[in-house]
């Protein structure tokens, strides 16, 4: 999941730097027409923020667990649809293929990471999940043997 999100962030950022089309401009006072490449960041301004979202999702995957990770997967999958939609259905003059293809790859990787988070995210351990405070560890000691062991150590397991 984390690898997919990192690759998606790189692809989305790279797509924002590549040309998505061309724009023609006439120089004032002359008949000279100049073709200027339109970068992905101009044609689809959401590419860079979505790349940042993919990087932030890496931190989110490491920080949260359980149901929150599923919600994160839903948000990530929905966000991945945006660059795919922009690349396939947003038209500019003189369409360039490479920038749009990289955006589709980045969006597809984002969607795949989101779906993986939805389906399997709650099963993977979160960062620092095995290190718990003593109070949290006491709460999980529901087993009768653990309760007797706590009493033997001089702790009150009912608190």
pLDDT digits (tens, 9 = 90+) for 101-153: 999 999 999 999 999 999 988 777 767 655 556 665 555 545 667 777 777 88
Task: Judge if 65 and 117 occupy the same domain.
Answer: yes
Report CA 125 to chain centroid distance, whole Å.
Answer: 18
How is residue 156 written in tokens? Answer: 């009150």
Residue 15, judged by CB atoms within 10 A of its CB (0-12, 13-18, 19+), counts as buried
Rounded distance, CA 27 to CA 36, Å?
Answer: 12
What is the CB neighbour count within 10 angstroms for residue 121?
25
Q: Which residues contact 105 (CB under 8 A, 6 or more apart)?
A: 11
How is residue 65 written in tokens? Answer: 């667990």
What is the CB neighbour count within 10 angstroms for residue 109?
22
Q: How many domains does the chain have?
A: 2
Task: Judge if 96 and 31 occupy the same domain.
Answer: yes
Task: Judge if 30 and 89 occupy the same domain.
Answer: yes
> 153: domain range?
129-159
Report CA 141 to chain centroid distance, whole Å.
Answer: 36
Task: Judge if 101 and 146 occupy the same domain.
Answer: no
Per-residue pLDDT, averaged over 77-100, amounts to: 88
What is the CB neighbour count within 10 angstroms for residue 51?
22
Query: Where do the H-state alpha helices sit in 38-133?
Result: 40-43, 47-63, 67-89, 97-120
Half-sphere exposure of 106 (CA within 13 A, CB side): 34
Contact (Cβ atoms closer than 8 angstroms) between residue 138 and residue 159: yes
Task: Judge if 12 and 65 occupy the same domain.
Answer: yes
Task: Judge if 114 and 85 occupy the same domain.
Answer: yes
How is residue 49 written in tokens? Answer: 């923020």
Residue 32 reports pLDDT greater than 80? yes
Query: What pLDDT band is residue 29 in, cutting at 50, 70 and 90?
Result: confident
Task: Judge if 54 and 25 occupy the same domain.
Answer: yes
Per-residue pLDDT at 85? 94
Task: Judge if 117 and 151 occupy the same domain.
Answer: no
Task: Judge if 95 and 40 occupy the same domain.
Answer: yes
What is the CB neighbour count within 10 angstroms for residue 29?
6
Task: Judge if 112 and 58 occupy the same domain.
Answer: yes
Task: Judge if 133 and 121 occupy the same domain.
Answer: no
Task: Judge if 134 and 122 occupy the same domain.
Answer: no
């Amino acid at each position: 999941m984390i690898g997919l999100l990192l690759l998606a962030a790189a692809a989305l950022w790279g797509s924002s730097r590549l040309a998505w089309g061309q724009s023609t401009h006439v120089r004032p006072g002359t008949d000279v027409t100049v073709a200027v490449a339109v970068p992905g960041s101009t044609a689809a301004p959401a590419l860079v923020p979505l790349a940042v979202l993919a990087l932030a999702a890496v931190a989110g995957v490491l920080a949260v667990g359980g149901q929150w990770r599923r919600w994160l997967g839903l948000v990530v999958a929905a966000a991945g649809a945006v660059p795919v939609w922009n690349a396939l259905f947003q038209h500019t003059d003189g369409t360039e293929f490479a920038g749009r293809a990289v955006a589709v790859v980045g969006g597809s990787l984002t969607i795949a990471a989101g779906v993986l988070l939805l389906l399997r995210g709650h099963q993977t351990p979160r960062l620092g999940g095995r290190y718990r405070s003593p109070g949290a560890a006491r709460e999980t000691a529901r087993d009768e043997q653990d309760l007797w062991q706590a009493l033997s150590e001089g702790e009150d397991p009912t608190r």
